[in-house]
Amino acid sequence: MRRGCSVGAALFFAATLSAGAAEAAGVLRTVLVIDASSSMLSTDPKELRKVAAELYVDLARDGDELAVTGFDGSARESTGGFTKIQGLADRNALKQAVRAVGKNGSWTDFTAGLLEAKRLLDAAPDEPGDQEFIVFLTDGRCDPDPKGALAEAAKAARAAGSPKRVEEICQDKVLGEIVPTLGRARLFAVGLSRSAPKAFLETLGQRTGGVGLATDRAEELPRVFADVFARLLGSRLIEGESASSVDIAVGEGMLTLDVIVVGPPALSMRLFDPSGREAPVGNQAPAEFYFADSPSYRLHKVMKPAAGTWKLAIGGPGRGGRYAVLQNLDLRLEFVDLPDVMEIGKPQILKMRLATPGGKMPPGEFLGRHELSLLAAEAPNKCEEALRAQVLKVAPRLKVARGKEGHWEHALLPLQRGEICFETVLSPLAGGVLSRVTYSKAVRIVPPLKLAAKATAFGSVKQGQEAKAEISFEGSELGEAVEVDFAAIAPPGSANPLGGLSMRPKSASLEPGGKNAFELVIAVDRDAKAGARSIEMRVTPSKPKGYEDRATHVVLSITIVPLTFWERYGFWVKVISGSLLGLLLLIGIVGPARFRKGTMLYYKDMRDPDLPREGSYPLAAKAKAGFYRGAKAMVGPTGPVRMGGVVELIAGPGGGVLAKPLGGRKAREVPRDEEEGGEGREVSLKDGVFRVAPGARYSIDGAGLTFWVAVR
């Protein structure tokens, strides 16, 4: 037999029991029944039936209860009772019990193993919501002790002329006598050889609401998995040949993620979550991440896996192998859009559904293998206590039918004021696996609500201003306080119901006997279209929930008056004019040229060569710019003067100095190596001025003045 076969069968049955029944209301109780006959030495030399049983133990949830028994001609190596899985020690103890089952039995008596499973289940406590399973692993046909009761029954049958062989007598006893006594326990049978009685195993599974199959080909298992999970469980299984990297798309609302790699010990596996973090293998927190490493398989179990793409990396020198991924939905029973209030005399449709927290529902075929019952309790108040009393009295419940959308639906008609509470119970039918119980909030039953609304007009209002109107609910019939929402209705052909208007408040609270009149304020945008218009407004009860269909309408009229030119643009005219004036003032003050900071004027009076006089003058400090007038200074032979100067110094671009000879005089640049007063080069003028080079000395013809400029 090939290695993948029995391990795949374990995946199939463990997923059938643990995945579909995840978070069931009661305990999941399973007996692993393992063939211990000596025929296993040839049909299962690598003891893959035990590998399959150990894998089933690893796939089981914390809180599940398991027992193990072997059988040959009689029951053997039985654990004698159930072990509740509460941690690593319990899993290891159960796997050790699986390994302890022998393989040296002389006979194969199916009845012995199944009767021991029945004894174990009968001895266990039976609480509401508990579910019981038997996983039956064998390699071939029923071959009981030739001196036992089955052989004697076969002899008696032959003596009476019956052609039945001892194997058929054994099968008849299992189907006709043992199976009817198993109660609600479902049996999952797998034959692990070509000689296994396929028809009998399939019938055995069908009779108990389980599944039976016989195979020695691993490649058949993916088809079996896909078919059974789609029809029976609503869970998701993906499997295939080992690859170096496998992407696993995990959807929202998954309860567990089980990833298994089956193959030789050298075939390694690593698992990474959508953020790239590797799943731990040390079992420090097995309630969140559990890892098992067996000579035949490796397993990761992740509780409440994050949605996204997980990565499975398979490596090592090992060859061959397969992987399998089980994703189990976190299914919850809930009420759909249950209102806060119901009105007396108004029919209501109560809806319930089984779905993930995100609203994803399992296939309809899966839902069809379950039934839903409903219990309701009405009371003037505190209906929760009334419901609790009915539950304790085991009051009869109503069976609820499923609607087209997959919801269970029940019609009811409230008749008296008070409260009503509901309990709904999901129970498995043949082939079903889930048990759920949920309770509703208290729903108040109130007199009918009738809204009547009328409003005054907003009148005329200019663009950019506000106006007020009043909305009154006089004439409304209110059985209790309600909150209503105001919403404008868009006119035909328009997506914007208000078109440049905004209105407040958005809601109001109405009370029986109250004034129930409210002020509405409408703000008109400056660009709102001018003219008369009508605004249709819907008034919808929003709190408590359940009155939404009692909405009413009012029409509000308003005339929008356009702004005059000065009202619309006067402010900006003032702003722009003021800005321009400020800019002109700023240019007049900042714009005129100034002498560079530290610029000094040095001068000599050379009219008397024997007695020259010289001085200096801080141009930057004393020659200031004026409003729209650049800085300048008039210079005579004796220095700066107000009048009668021979040259005018003017601040140029960048703080430079320009010189303008006055009175038609010429200026000469005095060579540095000549005596003062010597002839120099005549300076050329442009527009009557020349640029003064720092440090260069200049003389003015016929004036006796020599000057130069330096920057300190």
136-165 tens-digit pLDDT: 888 777 888 777 788 777 787 777 777 778
Instruction: Quote the pLDDT of residue 559.
Output: 92
Mean pLDDT of 18-44: 69
Distance of alpha carbon 365 from alpha carbon 523, whole angstroms: 57
Bigger pLDDT: 393 or 84? Answer: 84
pLDDT over 50 at 231, yes or no = no
pLDDT over 60 at 241, yes or no = yes
pLDDT over 90 at 420, yes or no = yes
> Listing from the earlier edge strand, what are the strands of the sheet with 482-488?
459-462, 552-561, 531-543, 482-488, 507-510
Between the CA of residue 24 and those of 231, 260, 332, 392, 433, what are the distances in Å? Answer: 19, 24, 10, 21, 8
Residue 683: count of CB within 10 angstroms of its CB: 19
Instruction: Quote the pLDDT of residue 496.
Output: 76
pLDDT over 90 at 238, yes or no = no
Bigger pLDDT: 224 or 2? Answer: 224
Instruction: Quote the pLDDT of residue 320.
Output: 66
- Which H/E stretch holds residue 92? helix 88-100
Between the CA of residue 533 and those of 453, 497, 521, 539, what are the distances in Å? Answer: 20, 12, 16, 19
Instruction: Quote the pLDDT of residue 678.
Output: 53
Mean pLDDT of 32-48: 79
pLDDT over 60 at 261, yes or no = yes
**Could you give all domains of the chain from N- to C-terminal order, each with its CATH number?**
3-234 (3.40.50.410), 235-327 (2.60.120.380), 332-446 (2.60.40.10), 454-561 (2.60.40.10), 599-711 (2.60.200.20)
pLDDT over 50 at 376, yes or no = yes
CB-based burial label for 662 (10 Å; 0-12, 13-18, 19+): middle
Question: Token pair for residue 455?
Answer: 């409003």
474, amino acid identity: E
Bigger pLDDT: 72 or 319? Answer: 72
| Residue owning tokens 């990297």 | 245
Q: Which three-class secondary structure state does DSSP give residue 150?
A: helix
Mean pLDDT of 485-501: 81
Instruction: Quote the pLDDT of residue 313.
Output: 92
Instruction: Quote the pLDDT of residue 232.
Output: 42
Mean pLDDT of 672-689: 74
Q: How confident is the model at residue 222 (pLDDT cuts 50, 70, 90)?
A: very low
pLDDT over 70 at 492, yes or no = yes
Q: How confident is the model at residue 128 (pLDDT cuts 50, 70, 90)?
A: low
pTM flag (> 0.75): no
Distance of alpha carbon 251 from alpha carbon 525, whole angstroms: 47
Question: Token pair for residue 456?
Answer: 């005054």
Distance of alpha carbon 489 from alpha carbon 494, whole angstroms: 10
pLDDT over 70 at 455, yes or no = yes
Close Cβ partners of 648 (under 8 Å, ≥ 6 residues apart): 632, 633, 634, 635, 659, 660, 662
pLDDT over 50 at 121, yes or no = yes
Mean pLDDT of 19-48: 71
- The pLDDT mean for the chain works out to 83
pLDDT over 50 at 1, yes or no = no
Bigger pLDDT: 186 or 372? Answer: 372
Mean pLDDT of 227-234: 44
Instruction: Quote the pLDDT of residue 151.
Output: 76
Instruction: Quote the pLDDT of residue 431.
Output: 62
Bigger pLDDT: 321 or 472? Answer: 472
Mean pLDDT of 322-331: 80
pLDDT over 50 at 89, yes or no = yes
Between the CA of residue 459 and those of 150, 464, 520, 522, 537, what are the distances in Å? Answer: 101, 15, 13, 11, 17
Distance of alpha carbon 106 from alpha carbon 39, whole angstroms: 8
pLDDT tens readout for residues 543-556: 888 788 888 989 98
Between the CA of residue 557 and those of 89, 403, 475, 516, 531, what are the distances in Å? Answer: 78, 46, 22, 21, 11
Under 8 Å between Cβ of 539 and 554 = yes
Question: Token pair for residue 8?
Answer: 């795949």
Instruction: Quote the pLDDT of residue 327.
Output: 80
Question: Token pair for residue 662?
Answer: 């006055």
How would you classify residue 394: left for phi > 0, otherwise alpha for psi between -120 and 50, otherwise beta? left
Instruction: Quote the pLDDT of residue 317.
Output: 67
669, amino acid identity: E
Q: Could you tell me what percent of the chain has a pLDDT over 70?
A: 90
Instruction: Quote the pLDDT of residue 319.
Output: 61
Q: Nearest 5°: CA angle at 410, between 406 and 416?
A: 150
Radius of gyration, alpha carbons of the chain:
50
Distance of alpha carbon 79 from alpha carbon 97, whole angstroms: 7
